A and B are shown apart, each in its own frame.
Chain A
Amino acid sequence: MIQRRAARLLALVLALLTQPALACEGRLYEAADVLAAPLCLPDRIQRIAVLDPAVSLGMALELGLPVVAAPLTGMSDTILHEAAEAAGVQNLGSMLDPSLEALVAARPDLILGAAFRAETYLPLLSQIAPTALIVPTDWRAYFHAVARLTGTEARLDALMAPFETRLAEVAARVPDTPVSILRITSWDFQVYLDQPDAYAPFALLHELGVRRPPYETGPDPMGMRRPDWEDLGQLDGEILLYIIGGTNASATDGRWEEVTGNPLWQLLPAVAAGRVYPIQSAVWMEFSGIGSAHRVLDDVERLIIGAP
């Protein structure tokens, strides 16, 4: 009895799995910037679940999309977190192991995420709702993909046009001073490099023409270097911007005192000249869209051009 049922269930599931792309009842999305294209999307998208609390969540909210679920645990960007909660976004847990059951319960009609993170879950996710895993990692291309998927290109253009204007304007005023950027965690140092496929905020710096010392310039397959105390001396920019805290406790657990008390830190040119300024982890490590991009420009204007 149980065997027959199980066989029936198995047959049903197998049939579902092997169902070819039938005539799509909604909109067929054929652009190559998502995995497993073409995708069949519903005509009206009313409930979106996103798979990461950074670019996917931020960009979706900025485009005014109806986001119903996202993995919010462990975010350090409190502003985005509050915005998400205010918008009624349900928490799916942590980004690395989101609860699929909660995802199902959220009844999304589109699931959005980055291909490099969620690729292995695609078969399972596709059974819950049409799943768009976006391939390009460049933030503008990602934003375009999200807008194209949801038919909000007009809104995107309205956001991007003033940004690009501002970007050009700020770039014209950026001085030739070399700038070093360092992330201080509780256990090591991290330098995000200036290279073609750099992480969004650092790619923006490159576009602005901010010069960085040779050590902080790629290319490196990891996109990031972890200098030890000896290598720290190679961060010899005239200005030093540092990121502390965020998703680790380095701001509060004595690490800052340990770093500033070390003579090798004090030997850095920027430290000796007193041109060391903090920048926020929420913007520089958890880049989430146009808002973050504008805040990067703010930091550049305030700390590099403005040169207090």
Chain B
Amino acid sequence: MSPPRLALWLAGLAAACLLLALWSLGVGSLSLSPARVWAALVAETPSREALVITTVRAPRVMAALAVGAALASAGAIMQRILRNPLAEPGLLGINAGAAFAMVLTAVLTGTAPRGTLIPAAMAGAAAASVLVWALGSAGRRGATPLRLVLAGVIVASFLVSLTQALLIFNLAALDGTRLWTAGSLAGIQPQELASVLPWIAAGLLAALAALPGLEIMGLEDDAARGLGIDPARWRLIAAAIVVLLTGGAVALAGPLAFLGLIVPHAIRLASGAGFRALLPLCALGGAALTLAADTLPRALAGTDIPVGITLALIGAPIFLWLARRQGVPG
């Protein structure tokens, strides 16, 4: 993709994120127009509105942007490394791993799953990735797309069942996680954001730094070796980045499916970008989509529908369309 076009796309998506953010800061039980939001933020003496915006709405907006960017980038990376158009953290059980680890920790410590449990989320994501990879790649033909998806589904069902078992025995935990397990950004606290943002930022920066290597990994292993990179080592690097991004996203919002799947495909279809351009575009596109999905139900109907449900309701039909269209290889 030519640099001017890339710059245009980046600017456009970034602008979309900013506008959505301004709109979203005005949505809530007290409806504020963007102008009033701006006024409240720049006013000298902090009004009640400003307080609501900074302590309640801004963390939620930032979390939505961060989670969207993280998951969409993770999806793009996974699709490239695994050479699988259907790869994404939700489908391949990584979300389920992080979620299970968080619920387990929450139940054991008597709290609710929150961003501060991010170490557990990362550990769970890492463990699930290892499991799914081992299972999916055991085979003469290696990790074919279908094998990997199946392995992911098995690991995910297993972990989801374990999570359900934990919740049934602990009804207080059930009430506390009901929304979170569907994928929700409600009630994000500034402390949670502070715990998690550094990790997501690290993941995104690492992804940008690793772009050249990741791009080459899209070729067959032999071709990659020919170009001077060690596939096994780079798979590990990619996995580490994906774990950082996914663990952080799940720690904030719970398991969100389909984001990592839809966004890369949508951006690719719309812009025709190659991988190097795709990754940053995915980050911005994912951020915008998540923020929109989180804000729309509240703005339209006044109800706070967990963003995971909204995304699944949009994403599942798109996944179905993709599955019909692709004619999965292997």
Contact = CB atoms under 8 A, between A and B. Distances in A.
Contact of A248 (B29, B30, B172): B172
Contact of A187 (B29, B57, B176): B176
A229 interface: yes
A262 B55 contact: yes
Nearest to B169: A94
A252 interface: yes
B172 A247 contact: yes
A264 B109 contact: no
A253 B110 contact: yes
B29 A230 contact: yes
Nearest to B176: A187
Contact of B110 (A228, A231, A252, A258): A252
A90 interface: no
A263 B55 contact: yes
Contacts of B189: 258
A264 B52 contact: yes
Interface majority SS (helix, strand, loop, mixed), chain A: loop
Contacts of A188: 176, 187
B119 interface: no
B56 A96 contact: no
Interface string B147-179: 000000000000000000000000110011100
A261 to B, nearest CB: 9
B55 A249 contact: no
B247 to A, nearest CB: 21
B28 interface: yes
Interface string A223-266: 00000111101000000000000011100111000100011100
B325 interface: no
B55 A187 contact: no
A234 to B, nearest CB: 8
A87 interface: no
A230 to B, nearest CB: 5
Interface string B44-59: 0000100110011100
A217 B184 CA distance: 28
Contacts of A185: 172, 175-176
A248 B56 contact: no
A104 interface: no
A74 interface: yes
Chain B interface bracket (under 10, 10 to 19, 20 to 34, 35 or more): 20 to 34
A253 B187 CA distance: 17
B237 interface: no
B22 interface: no
A264 B111 contact: no
Given A186-B176, A229-B55, A263-B55, A74 B171 contact: yes
A262 B188 CA distance: 13
B109 A253 contact: yes
A267 B51 contact: yes
A233 B56 CA distance: 12
A96 B111 CA distance: 21
B48 A229 contact: no
Among B52, B56, B172, B304, the most chain A Cβ lie within 10 Å of the Cβ of B172
A267 B48 CA distance: 8
B206 interface: no
A5 to B, nearest CB: 36
Nearest to B180: A187
A187 B30 CA distance: 22
B39 to A, nearest CB: 18
B186 interface: yes
B50 to A, nearest CB: 10
B309 interface: no
B112 interface: yes
A231 B51 contact: no
A230 B51 contact: no
Interface in B12-39: 28-30
A76 to B, nearest CB: 10
Interface string A263-274: 110010000000
A231 B111 contact: no
B315 to A, nearest CB: 26
Contacts of A96: 171
A228 B48 contact: no
Given A185-B176, A187-B175, A230 B28 contact: yes
A248 B176 contact: yes
Interface in A139-193: 185-188
Contact of A264 (B56, B110, B172): B56
B107 to A, nearest CB: 11
Contacts of B186: 228
27 contacts: A94-B171, A186-B172, A186-B176, A187-B175, A187-B177, A188-B187, A228-B56, A228-B187, A228-B304, A229-B187, A230-B29, A230-B30, A230-B52, A230-B56, A233-B48, A233-B52, A248-B110, A248-B175, A248-B176, A249-B111, A253-B110, A254-B111, A258-B191, A263-B51, A264-B51, A264-B55, A267-B51
Q: 4 tightest CB-CB pairs across the interface, nearest first?
A: A187-B176, A249-B110, A187-B112, A248-B172
Given A185-B172, A249-B110, A264-B55, 12 more contacts: A96-B171, A186-B172, A187-B176, A187-B177, A228-B29, A228-B186, A230-B30, A230-B57, A248-B176, A253-B110, A253-B111, A254-B111
Interface of A: 74, 94, 96, 185-188, 228-231, 233, 247-249, 252-254, 258, 262-264, 267
